[in-house]
Structure 1
Amino acid sequence: MNTDIKSVTVVGTGIIGASWTCLFLAHGLDVVATDIREGAENELELAVERCWPSLPDAVLERKKRGTLSFTADLTAACRGTGFVQENAIERVEEKIDLMRQIDAATSPGVVIASSSSAISVTDMQSACAHPERVVLGHPLNPPHLVPLVEVVGGAGTGETALRSAEHFYQDLGKTTIRLEKEIYGHVANRLQAAIFREAIHILESGVASAEDIDRAVTDGPGLRWALMGPLLTYRLAGGDRGMQGFWDMFTPMQDKLWRELGTPLLDQDLQQRVTAAVERAYDKVPLEGLVRKRDAGLRCILAMRRPERHL
């Protein structure tokens, strides 16, 4: 680990915050967690114990575990910390005020990273006295398993903070990508949203069931995506001529597909219909069982990818 960082403050201990906490502890970092929700401390302790066995083998082999403490006092939680990972409310005005409080309570030079899925860093740092150290450190759920962290700064963020955040996450075994500019939803969520939108369009059109739409991904392109992204996938599809070969062979098909992709209206009626279809498909297995199955599968994929991260 970066020897300059010995402790981390986790602000917000829901699903994402608890998963981050598990990962930080497993790398020997001391964690001070804070949340204002009643019962949050007990929920966090249970969540960490639940996540711990599913950590990647490479992490468990370290046989490390930092100390975990909890306080509802945000100022106390930030005092003396080496890094802040914020995972709280996803409403702009509340986030701005929360980041202002964290900034005021944290020693100068300490990076303040947000897990926000969509809120602009420029907005989040707008009330901070030290906006230069506020960055986005957006993980994919669950962060204790999925390697990706998206890093980007706002208008007031300094390069030093961005590099420090990247090094910190990389020392945790994470894969970081640097966004050159802010965009709503960042990169991974936008890619997921595009697939999700078309999945709903196909479901609404009566083309396939919820289960078969999911299987079309997990037993099809999802297998390739565990090894390579969509751009490399299509480059290989072009054979010896690479990407240009793909365009020469498939441009008409892609053009027709792009023009026919669905644009469903995300209104209340559609949400209810999709909810009913998905719950019918998966209500036979309790949520906890689905999570365990997901985490076990992710561990297997990570173990397989360990010698060589990607193609």
Structure 2
Amino acid sequence: MYVESIVRSHGGIMHRTTLRNLGVTPYRVRKEIDAGLLQRVDRHRVAVNGCDTALLRAARLGGRLSCVSAARFRGLWALDDERLHVSVPRTFSAPVTDRAAPLPLLHWGRGPAPVHLTDTIEPLANMLLHIAQCQPHELAVAIIDSGINKRMLDLAELKRLARSVGGRLQAVIEDCDGGADSGIETVIRVRLGQRGIALRIQIVIDGHPVDGLIGDRLVIQADGYGPHSTSSQRSRDLMQDARLALRGYTVLRFTYAQILYDWSYVEAQILAAMSQGLHLWERH
């Protein structure tokens, strides 16, 4: 087997010590570097061509990918963050030399899981702790919630971890339920919950799920449209809104940007609808 195949199967980047422990000789590594199959990352690591840029930058800093950068790499929902989140040892003193990229955000704290000098990404438990310590509460909940929803994280295991670690991570996990299909739905649920408003997620009405429901009939829809969304998706959503309105539901649809960056407007519209009783069926 080519060394390149081994490195690719381990995430695209490996410590030379790990390769040596697998029986790969330094000669074989040098041979594949010379052949252009592998690239040197630093004195200790090699990577495949096309290796994830974030992993490479973290390794060149002498750290491990962590927090939202590690979450995104693992396939969890996370906001776009140009900053690289890197876990570094307390003795870290290397200068940042990549002037073309935003300065990385360094995580110094130790987590509950042990790490090894050959690790290129922070262990899962440590990543979750860094997320809870670094991110606003509702965003941390949304990231972890997405992992539960995708069955990448187990809620029972997370609760045991939370009891063990305590602090902000425990508060975040207490607000997780894994019910949302997207992180933006979780953000709405948590923010409304902080106001004492219960938002039920992914409720099926007339055979179709809605993002959230307050009371009997106030439907909250969250547009997650980005550059890759299609007009057909938008048309389908508007058709659903019309169908709900004809059945007596009040539908409030907000954009991704409004929810994240203009929450006061979103909250004001929801409160106004509730003050008019638009979340309840008329009682006779």
How high is the TM-score relative to the length of structure 2?
0.29
Higher relative contact order (CA 8 A, sep 6+): 1
